[in-house]
Amino acid sequence: MSLLFALSGKGGVGKTTLAGFFVRILVELGKKPVLAIDADPNSCLADMLGVKVPFSIGTARETMRDDADEQKISKHELLRMKIAQGLVESNGFDMISMGRPEGPGCYCYANGVLKAAIGELSRGYPYVVLDNEAGLENLSRRIVQSVDALVLVSDASNAGMNTLERLYSLAREMGVKYRKLIILVNRTREGRLPESAPRVQEYTGAYKMIALPYDEEIAALAEESKPVWEVSGGNRIYIAIREMLDEITKAA
């Protein structure tokens, strides 16, 4: 059984940055190998982790029908091959990029096969980190069947916290299954939770709600295109996420 962390939230709140921390810290805690899945077509989890993916498997899916006919193999077999080719292997973790959710030449059957193949791949890893696009599409489309820790990320603004509550309600309505809900309020002033925090915590029944400060070292990462491995061990965000993951992986 793998332990799957899925990060969701609106665009620009820090999902990819924090997903990078999750991967680094799990590896450092010896919780490996980790499978990192980039499920946001506009994202760059690969940059954050300092790796290069050869291609996203979404592109493979679009030409699947023709390719399968040509090579006289089953579509499932073909996708397994493509996924193996698209997987980057690094120290303690592997990474795969999903690419676009649905292209023009794409059809539902292929999506189903893709999901099955991703599920199959994930089951081979004890730890999986899924960096989602804004919204809940990947979870609702059941790219993953169930999530151990649903990590909702927000900024500290009132609008952001309201969006987070809506996202939570939507997840419930859609029947997204998770064991623990973790809320990360990112880029806060002085690492303090906003006033709306107790209300949101009560409404969502979150297992943990953690404030992460605005941090110059993190901001510089993106500006200088540096991977998460370069953040110092004394960084406040690094320490907060490490404590949380240490606790969760021990309890699991």
Ligand X SMILES: Nc1ncnc2c1ncn2[C@@H]1O[C@H](COP(=O)(O)OP(=O)(O)O)[C@@H](O)[C@H]1O
193 binds ligand X (CB under 6 A): no
d(CA 83, CA 211): 36
Site for Mg ion in 42-81 (CB under 5 A): 43
Minimum gap (Å) between residue 9 Cβ and Mg ion: 9
Distance (Å) of CA 8 to CA 11, 138, 151: 9, 9, 6
33 prior amide bond cis, ω within 30: yes
Question: Cβ closer to ligand X: 11 or 105?
Answer: 11
204 binds Mg ion (CB under 5 A): no
Binding partner of 14, given ligand X, Mg ion, none, CB within 5-8 angstroms per partner class: ligand X
Q: Which of 3, 5, 16, 79 binds Mg ion (CB under 5 A)?
A: 16
97 binds Mg ion (CB under 5 A): no
In contact, 186 and 153? CB cutoff 8 Å:
yes
* Cross-strand bridge partners of residue 153: 184
What is the per-residue binding string for Mg ion in 118-137, x denoting contact by CB under 5 A? --------------------
Q: Which of 3, 5, 6, 17 binds ligand X (CB under 6 A)?
A: 17
24 binds ligand X (CB under 6 A): no
16 binds ligand X (CB under 6 A): yes
Residues 6 or more apart whose CB falls under 8 angstroms from that of 173 comprise none
Region of 92 (left: φ > 0; alpha: ψ -120 to 50; beta: rest) is left
186 binds Mg ion (CB under 5 A): no
Minimum gap (Å) between residue 78 Cβ and ligand X: 31
Q: In 3-state terms, what secondary structure has residue 8?
A: strand
In contact, 188 and 194? CB cutoff 8 Å:
yes
Q: Which of 38, 94, 148, 215 binds ligand X (CB under 6 A)?
A: 215
HEC secondary structure over 138-200: HHHCCCCCCEEEEEEEECCCHHHHHHHHHHHHHHHHCCCCEEEEEEEEEEECCCCCCCCHHHH
138 binds Mg ion (CB under 5 A): no
57 sits in which H/E element: helix 57-62
d(CA 105, CA 103): 6
Candidates 157-165, 175-183, 212-220, 225-233; binding stretch for ligand X (CB under 6 A): 212-220
245 binds ligand X (CB under 6 A): no
186 binds ligand X (CB under 6 A): yes
Question: Cβ closer to ligand X: 117 or 185?
Answer: 185
Binding site for ligand X (CB under 6 A): 9, 11-17, 43, 186-187, 212, 214-215, 218-219, 221-222, 237
Binding site for Mg ion (CB under 5 A): 15-16, 40, 43
